Amino acid sequence: MNPKVDWFFNKPGRWQEEYLTLRKIILGCDLEEELKWGCPCYTNEGKNIVLIHGFKDYCAVLFFKGALLKDSHHLLIQQTPNVQLPRQMRFTGVKDIIKLANVLKTYIKEAGETEKKGLKIELKKTSDYAVPEEFQDKLDENAALKKAFLTLTPGRQRGYIFYFSQAKQSKTRAERVEKYTSKILMGKGLDD
């Protein structure tokens, strides 16, 4: 146990009993406990293996390279279609966690072995994603915007593409593009 992470488990909240149960199981898998992104993250030789986090309807163990796991029990969930490599194992109560404890340990062990082997998948490039028409039109008519967008990191580029694409109506997509044009020109990401 890492005392720097204790605050996460001691703070009042919806999933505290579940978090403590997950912590006990994961610490039994010979991983190091760290605090990353405000969540307990479990590593092996500095490599991220799993992370505990919670949402409104469930808490989860996130497997950083979950797409590479066998998932013989069909428990790993891809959060959204745009998430390429990580997968979640979700829980809604302590009973669920205890029932799946051995499976969870098996998956964690496999995740650690996957990391040790250095296994990877070829991730999609930003150019593999469809750029919304409203944004493409703006890029075509504004050379400075296009240059600024292309100098952003691939993750920041994808963030904008996904955000603009999520709007169902063309008007909303155009409004979003207009609202964030200045941020792109400043070289900033959506959440910077």
pLDDT digits (tens, 9 = 90+) for 99-146: 999 999 999 999 999 998 887 777 677 777 789 999 999 999 999 999
**pLDDT at position 120, please?**
78
**pLDDT at position 40, please?**
96
**pLDDT at position 188, please?**
94
Judgement on whether residues 87 and 43 belong to the same structural domain of the protein: yes
Q: Which of 71, 99, 117 is the last residue of a domain?
A: 117
**pLDDT at position 84, please?**
75
Mention every residue, 6+ apart, whose C-beta is less than 8 A from residue 60: 52, 53, 54, 88, 89, 90, 91
**pLDDT at position 83, please?**
76
Predicted TM-score (pTM) of the model is: 0.72
**pLDDT at position 106, please?**
96
- The answer to whether residues 131 and 161 touch, using CB atoms and an 8 Å cutoff, is yes
**pLDDT at position 154, please?**
85
β-pair type (87-91, 39-44): unpaired
Counted domains in the chain: 2
Residue 191 included in any domain: no
Q: What is the mean pLDDT of the chain?
A: 91
Judgement on whether residues 96 and 35 belong to the same structural domain of the protein: yes
**pLDDT at position 112, please?**
93
**pLDDT at position 2, please?**
83
Judgement on whether residues 33 and 101 belong to the same structural domain of the protein: yes
**pLDDT at position 35, please?**
93
Q: Which residues of the chain have pLDDT under 70?
A: 123
- Could you tell me the two tokens for 6? 């204790």
Domain that holds residue 163: 126-185
**Residue 15 belongs to domain with CATH number:** 3.90.1150
Measure the CA–CA gap between 117 and 161, rounded to whole angstroms: 33
